[in-house]
Structure 1
Amino acid sequence: MNLRRLKYFVKIVDVGSLTQAADVLHIAQPALSQQLVTLEAELQQQLIIRTKRGVTPTEAGKVLYGHAQLILRQCEQAQSDVNATGFALSGQVSVGLAPGTAASALSLPLLRRVRERHPGILLYLNENFGTTLSELIMNGRMDMAVLYGGREVHGLSFVPLMREQLYLVSADPELHARDDISLAEVADLDLLLPRTYNTMRRLVDEAFLKLGLSARVIAEVESSTTLAAAVSEHFGSTILPESAARALVAVHDAHLCRITQPDIEAPLALCLSGHLPLSVPAQAVKAILLELIADMRGNLVSAQS
């Protein structure tokens, strides 16, 4: 095997067509087909199945595809690290930020600080669900992600960042003068929560279960824009980590109450690959992320005082 053939193979699988892959790679289709035949001969396995609709990988092809992505990514990192020696940092760095969490509040500060310190770094931000982000990191397609949770998973490592209290966010005037509310009282409210696979939802459901209660969920909403609008229009209340709750009430007609009896805490963590080292540019972005998290912790302490 060589890197060029692996690159060709990955592109064929991504595009799903030998003809289109040849166009993208700017080589003749017969030459691309020959490279694939050579790769299959080296591995003594059929890697691609040709159909009328295009090509699909065999089981052996799927295994090679996963390994090839990691190999090519490591080679790109090696090139970037070598090029960075003695020069300003440059290269691509991908960061995942779970939506509806403290992580999403980091996006603009992260863009600004990386641009100020390392203008040669091209930052890619992906706001997606925590499970999706962790899968991308495990597959070597993303460098790091800030998300809630942090349960040990094979192939991933988690750096604890902070723990946040969960707050009820509501526009109900009867709650306006209150600083806290018991979870039993929350059970009587119409709630807008994310779906059950979301870490925040799991924390809330587990807390209710311990009291022998359940949340009265009237809609499952995972769009922060829709959620904020629905809360401010008195459609229902929601439960958010403190940073996200304070960000919502700062710009919408709503207020927050800390949930007590019991207190519910959400652990924020930095998710990294357990086997792929970070490139030099990615290490620089990681350091900036940790700085921003430290600033956020300080701001939350000040807000509580």
Structure 2
Amino acid sequence: MDIKQLRSFVHIAELGSLSRAAERLNLSQPALSRQLNLLEETLETKLLDRTGRGVKLTEAGQMLAERARVILADLARLEADLTARSSKVTGHVHVGVPPSAGIVITGALIERLRAHFPDLNISVAEDLTGDVQEGLLSGRLDIGILHDGMISRSLHAEPLWREDLFLISHPTQVGEQETEIAYEDVLSLPLIMPTNRHGLRAKMEEAAFRAGRPLTPVVEADALRVLVDLVHRNVGHTVLPRSSLVMELSTGRLKARRVVSPQLSRTVMLSWLHDRPLSAGGKAVVDTLRDLAGTMPMAEK
């Protein structure tokens, strides 16, 4: 039994599918199956039952998955502690951020890292929360910023800040004294929303379900700039945190009303793989993000 086999098995257990786990791990399915067979031979026990919908853990498989997560996390911490003994912060760190959080924090992050760690190289990829999570799980990204929701158990996730959600509208659609709007009234408006791949859409769907009302957007778009442009054109309304639209709101090009009854908010999370140790550079990025989170405008801890 080796570490590579354990890591592969944890991904299979989480996804319940050999094909999806192979895709995440960038392996062929036969190669992943060989790893699984070797692991079962070494342990002399069956770990998975194949079903029409994928694979299901046996009792032994459940035990191994739980213990493996602990073992891999301990090894990652050990490796991180040993690599952190180096005093000079160098290397290359790949960071993934969703667009709304990227607008708020990316510039400040790069500015501070360049000032304090000039030998550290940073790559920032802007993508939807689901794609950032997959980037972390596949090893393409070292550190990610996610929104709360269905976060993989293979990832460490800690809150950075909380942001309230607002209905974003064309100025002609908002009365001068209007600062709030009930969610039930939001659902009656022509909405421009992200697709179901986006965490914000899931939060909106959940609130609509609790209200006993359907969420039926007139336009779906996953790009932040498209959502904002369509609101500029008075096609409809969208829902976003104020912090991602500071310029548009300060100049009056758009108007924001806090969504209430219920009040909607989401938490921005800092995340990385449990079983992949942070390098000294990764720790520098994580510590910097934690420091910056305490200074976020229009966001709550």
* TM above 0.5: yes
Q: Are residues 135 and 257 of structure 1, via their aligned partners in 2, closer, same or farther at CA, if it must alter by over 3 Å? A: same
Q: Are residues 187 and 118 of structure 1, via their aligned partners in 2, closer, same or farther at CA, if it must alter by over 3 Å? A: same
Partners of 2:258 and 2:27 in 1: CA distance = 51
Partners of 2:146 and 2:275 in 1: CA distance = 19
Secondary structure of 2:164's aligned partner: strand
Amino acid paired to 1:228: V
Deviates more, 1:149-158 or 1:271-280: 149-158
Partners of 2:265 and 2:114 in 1: CA distance = 33
Partners of 1:60 and 1:93 in 2: CA distance = 31
Q: What RMSD, in angstroms, separates the aligned Cα atoms of the two structures?
A: 3.1
Q: Are residues 187 and 281 of structure 1, via their aligned partners in 2, closer, same or farther at CA, if it must alter by over 3 Å? A: same
The answer for the alignment partner of 1:61 in structure 2 is 31
Q: Are residues 63 and 126 of structure 1, via their aligned partners in 2, closer, same or farther at CA, if it must alter by over 3 Å? A: farther
Residue pair 1:169, 1:240 contacting (<8 A) in 2 also: yes
Q: 1:111 Cα deviation (Å)?
A: 1.3
Residue deviations 1:86-139, cap 9 Å, x none?
Answer: 4x311001111012x234321111111111111111101011111111122122
Secondary structure of 2:257's aligned partner: strand
For the pair 1:118 / 2:117, whether they are aligned, the reply is yes
Partners of 2:253 and 2:27 in 1: CA distance = 53
The answer for the alignment partner of 1:109 in structure 2 is 108
The answer for the alignment partner of 2:10 in structure 1 is none
Q: Are residues 149 and 171 of structure 1, via their aligned partners in 2, closer, same or farther at CA, if it must alter by over 3 Å? A: same
The answer for the alignment partner of 1:130 in structure 2 is 129
For the pair 1:93 / 2:63, whether they are aligned, the reply is no
Q: 1:215 Cα deviation (Å)?
A: 2.7
Partners of 1:124 and 1:57 in 2: CA distance = 24
Residue pair 1:150, 1:268 contacting (<8 A) in 2 also: no
The answer for the alignment partner of 1:171 in structure 2 is 170
For the pair 1:279 / 2:276, whether they are aligned, the reply is no
Secondary structure of 1:125's aligned partner: strand
Secondary structure of 2:298's aligned partner: helix
Q: What TM-score do you get using the length of structure 2 for normalisation?
A: 0.70
Amino acid paired to 1:102: A
Partners of 1:228 and 1:261 in 2: CA distance = 24
The answer for the alignment partner of 2:217 in structure 1 is 217
Q: Are residues 271 and 95 of structure 1, via their aligned partners in 2, closer, same or farther at CA, if it must alter by over 3 Å? A: same
Partners of 1:228 and 1:154 in 2: CA distance = 33
Secondary structure of 1:133's aligned partner: helix
Amino acid paired to 1:85: S
Partners of 1:63 and 1:119 in 2: CA distance = 44
Q: 1:172 Cα deviation (Å)?
A: 4.5
Partners of 2:251 and 2:85 in 1: CA distance = 42
Amino acid paired to 1:167: F
Query: Which structure has the larger Rg over C-alpha atoms?
Result: 1
Aligned pairs for 1:260-299 within 5 A: 260-296=260-296, 299=297
* % identity of equivalent residues: 23
Amino acid paired to 1:59: Q
Q: Using CA pairs below 8 Å that are at least 6 residues apart, which structure has the higher relative contact order?
A: 2
Partners of 2:294 and 2:33 in 1: CA distance = 40
Residue deviations 1:46-78, cap 9 Å, x none?
Answer: xxxxxxxxxx9753435789xxxxxxxx9xxx8
The answer for the alignment partner of 1:193 in structure 2 is 193
Q: Which runs of 5+ in 1 are unaligned?
A: 1-55, 66-73
The answer for the alignment partner of 1:231 in structure 2 is 231
Partners of 1:273 and 1:146 in 2: CA distance = 12
Q: What TM-score do you get using the length of structure 1 for normalisation?
A: 0.69
Q: 1:187 Cα deviation (Å)?
A: 1.5
Partners of 1:209 and 1:83 in 2: CA distance = 47
Residue pair 1:191, 1:217 contacting (<8 A) in 2 also: yes
Partners of 2:28 and 2:284 in 1: CA distance = 39
Residue pair 2:91, 2:281 contacting (<8 A) in 1 also: yes
Partners of 2:151 and 2:27 in 1: CA distance = 31
Partners of 1:239 and 1:300 in 2: CA distance = 16
Aligned pairs for 1:4-19 within 5 A: none
